[in-house]
Amino acid sequence: MNRHGPIPPIGTSGLPFQAARPHLSSARIKKLLLGHPALARILVIIALFLLWEGAARWWVDPIFLSPPSQVLTSLDTVFETRGVPAALRVTFWELAVAFAMSVVIGLVVGLAVGLSKFSYRSCMPIILLLYGTPQVTILPLFILYFGIGPASKIAFGVSHGVFPIIVTTVAGVQNIKPILMTAARSMGASHWQLFRWVIFPHMIPSFFAGMRLGMTGVLLGVLLAELYVSTAGIGYFTQMFTQNFDPTKLLGLISVLAAMAIILNEIVRRAEVYFARWRMD
Amino acid sequence: MSTRQDRRVRFASRAVQFGFLVGLMALWYLGTAYWGVSHLLLPNPVKVWHELKDVLSTGEYLPDLQVTLTELAIAFAISCTSGVTLGYLISRSPYMIKVFEPLLAGIYSVPIILLLPLYVLFFGLGPGSKIAIGTTISFFPIVLNTIAGFGYVDRIFIVAARSMGASDLQMFRYVLLPAALPVILTGLRIGFIIALLSILGSETIASLAGLGHKIVHLAEGMETARMFAYIAFVVAIAATLNTIASALERRAQRQ
């Protein structure tokens, strides 16, 4: 019985171990990665973070860059800095108001311009001209007119967000097949019914595409104005952290803002997919 | 609709556009000259015109223009080279496209201007931080369009060229490049324009020289008339560069 030596405990003998091993073999990993690009993407992101961590720990002066682990663990100190939660609230509020105003103004102007051929011909070149002007050059003017408080940020955000919404709304209205309008009209649809049942459903997909572009514009406008001059918003704190050479808090604040931007973008994008679904067939 | 009626509508809409511009100018002039709008908030258009002539004739805009254009050239050169190279390498395999394209598109959707304070910390207030932000912002449309251009060439062309015995170089020169070029050029144009805008923006926010800095400097000195002149000058420069970029794009796409 003992000829082959003591019976090895389960799991340490060659055979069961061999059976478990393919989970770790490189061929298996390769196959797994090839089958799941998303997994590979996550690995790339992790690798980038490791690179950042290594760079911050060993190569770069700590007054310029701090490792992501430290940024993450000291996120709470960012929120504990006096005024930061209020500043984030102010910035979020500015974004929300600017976006709401862009949507309302953009929708009204877009419908007014798009629904009549004459107003389209007259106004569209003016709108495209304004859209093409680099608004960032007149940022100081916004501060001059609206002050250094939230009003100037909201106005600047609207100036960036409203034009994509107008342009896409006009495009959406223009794309309605004339036969649908004629048919509805000949069946005796009132103006309101025409809008509710023909124009509105056709406009929805491009309108939400415009809202997504508008959100990008509003984020850009509000953040630019915040960074330019700010007394209560996040621009004040980014400037303070930069001047104090405090990269940990600066990166923490930037991460929080980036997360905010991603969430807002994602909400609008989801809405776009949801409302465009009736066209999918 | 008859052509005559069509022409009348076109004429009327031109008249509306013209009237809008004239009305705006008239309102501006009357507001500042007679209705007592503070000249600190809105300078008289005649004064702005004189300031603009003064700025152009003395050539005092030259150093700032040179700074801004140099930053733009360097930023665009870097983002162009790295964007097209990386985009080409990624586009060589459908798997790499699946891995990297959503990643790059995801980063692109974050407002990258948020990195500006960080870049000011790294590269200082001088041209370095402007070049960095311009490069970062314009990199993404260029790389994404390069991937889209090279990555989605019709398979039939590639298979046909291969089966006719095209070498790798011939494949690139005669199949991939002509198919991808229009899309890449669009990316380059978008990248160029947003590099210009982000450089102007970052000069506005924190800088030592450049056109954006000049505008802020005048705004802080309450020299509004001269600031308006500079704004008009910068808008004209941006419009010119935009027109040149679009014309080059169209011309190259036609060939």
Domain ranges of chain B: 1-37, 58-254
Does B13 contact A at CB distance below 8 Å? yes
Contact A161, A105 (CB under 8 A): no
CATH of the domain at A88: 1.10.3720.10
- Do A185 and A155 fall into the same domain? yes
CA of A182 to nearest chain B CA: how many angstroms apart?
A: 16
- Do A230 and A273 fall into the same domain? yes
Kindly state whether residue A100 falls inside one of the protein's structural domains. yes
What residue numbers bound the domain in which A11 lies?
A: 1-65
Contact B230, B215 (CB under 8 A): yes
ipTM higher than the 0.90 cut: no
CA of A14 to nearest chain B CA: how many angstroms apart?
A: 36
Q: Please say which residue of A14, A39, A65 terminates a domain.
A: A65
Kindly state whether residue A59 falls inside one of the protein's structural domains. yes
- Do A86 and A61 fall into the same domain? no
- Do A129 and A225 fall into the same domain? yes
Q: Shortest CB distance from B117 goes to which of A126, A144, A227?
A: A227
Kindly state whether residue A70 falls inside one of the protein's structural domains. no
The CATH code for residues B58-254 is: 1.10.3720.10
Kindly state whether residue A220 falls inside one of the protein's structural domains. yes
If you average pLDDT over every residue of chain B, what do you get?
86
Q: Shortest CB distance from A262 goes to which of B20, B110, B197?
A: B110
Judged against a pLDDT cut of 70, whether residue B62 lies above it is answered with: yes
Judged against a pLDDT cut of 70, whether residue B82 lies above it is answered with: yes
pLDDT of residue A16: 45
Residue of B nearest to A48 (CA): B103
Q: How far is CA B62 from CA B65, B142, B230, in A?
A: 5, 30, 12
- Mean pLDDT, to the nearest integer, of B212-225? 85
Q: Do B117 and A223 touch (CB under 8 A)?
A: no
A interface test, pick of B25, B140, B204 with most A CB neighbours within 10 Å = B204
- Mean pLDDT, to the nearest integer, of B8-33? 82
Structural domain total, chain A: 2
- Do A84 and A50 fall into the same domain? no
Helices A84-114/A150-174 angle, 10° precision: 30
pLDDT of residue A278: 63
Q: Which residues contact A5 (CB under 8 A, 6 or more apart)?
A: none
Pinpoint the alpha helices (H) of chain A.
Answer: 14-20, 26-35, 37-54, 68-73, 75-80, 84-114, 117-132, 139-146, 150-174, 178-186, 191-194, 200-228, 234-243, 247-275
- Do A93 and A47 fall into the same domain? no
Residue of B nearest to A260 (CA): B110
pLDDT of residue A102: 94
Residue B137's nearest CA partner among B185, B187, B198, B71 is B198
The pLDDT-based confidence of B255 (bands split at 50, 70, 90) is low
Q: How far is CA B242 from CA B169, B196, B236, B237, in A?
A: 33, 10, 10, 8
- Do A58 and A82 fall into the same domain? no
Question: What stretches in chain A show pLDDT beneath 70?
Answer: 1-24, 278-281
Kindly state whether residue A71 falls inside one of the protein's structural domains. no
pLDDT of residue A11: 44
pLDDT of residue A19: 47
Contact B6, B19 (CB under 8 A): no
pLDDT of residue A23: 54
